[in-house]
Amino acid sequence: MELMLSHFLLGISFAVPMGPVNFEIVRRGIGQGFLCAWMVSLGALTADLVYLIAINQGISEWMSIRWIHIILTWLGALFFLKLSYSSIKSSFEISNDPILQIASIEPSKWNAFWSGFLIAIINPITFLFWLGVYGSLYVSLVQNNDTNLVLICIFCLFLGIAIWNINVATTVHISRRFLHQKGIRIITFLTGLILLGFGIKFLYKGISFFF
């Protein structure tokens, strides 16, 4: 029970910090509602599962190769800059209904899913958590426990992540009903600026690899 609880709390702790995934959930929730916000979360969870499978297959050492870090960092920078541009641009669009204007840019729920997936898969923070922090814990978990307990602990880990993401998506969805047009535009613009900050940070890190 203690092991399962610790994995559940670890999942929540990993999801709580306001990183790129959470800001994309907020952006989608404001403009497109709960379902699109949850699809971002689902995409990010899928990326987490990919990393877990990578650990299980023993390719952590291969994934630590320098050029892979460089590629992920540059892809992350470009993707965050693209999301930032879309968000900031939509906040200045003239429309009687800013929510519809924002939603019209990327209306597909699958678009939201792949957005969440790409943000998580190319995010160095996610990369370091799964292949660094959790990688060693996972090896210890597999070596010292039976398969059923390992699977239950992994489920608890993902449950913690999912519950927090659902909480964020639900909070944003409910809150947007009480926001006026100007408030929605301000939040969308600020979210775009934050994503721009992530993009610039990753861009700087990508450039620093060559010096």
Give the per-residue SS3 of the chain.
CHHHHHHHHHHHHHHCCCCHHHHHHHHHHHHHCHHHHHHHHHHHHHHHHHHHHHHHCCCHHHHCCHHHHHHHHHHHHHHHHHHHHHHHHHHHCCCCCHHHHHHCCCCCHHHHHHHHHHHHHCCHHHHHHHHHHHHHHHHHHHHHCCHHHHHHHHHHHHHHHHHHHHHHHHHHHHHHHHCCHHHHHHHHHHHHHHHHHHHHHHHHHHHHCCC
Scored b (16 or more CB within 10 A) or e, 45-71 reads bebbeebbebbeeeebeebeeeeebee
pLDDT for position 55: 75
In the chain, the number of structural domains is 1
**pLDDT level of residue 99 (50, 70, 90 thresholds):** very low
pLDDT for position 65: 63
Closest by CA position to 119, among listed 150, 84, 90: 84
Q: What is the pLDDT of residues 117-158, one digit of tens each?
A: 988 887 777 777 777 667 667 777 777 888 888 889 889 989
Q: Are the beta carbons of 25 and 37 closer than 8 angstroms? A: yes
- Tokens 């390992």, located at residue: 150
Q: What is the pLDDT of residues 177-198, one digit of tens each?
A: 766 666 667 767 777 787 788 7
* pTM, two decimal places: 0.69
Query: Which residues form the domain of 200?
Result: 2-208
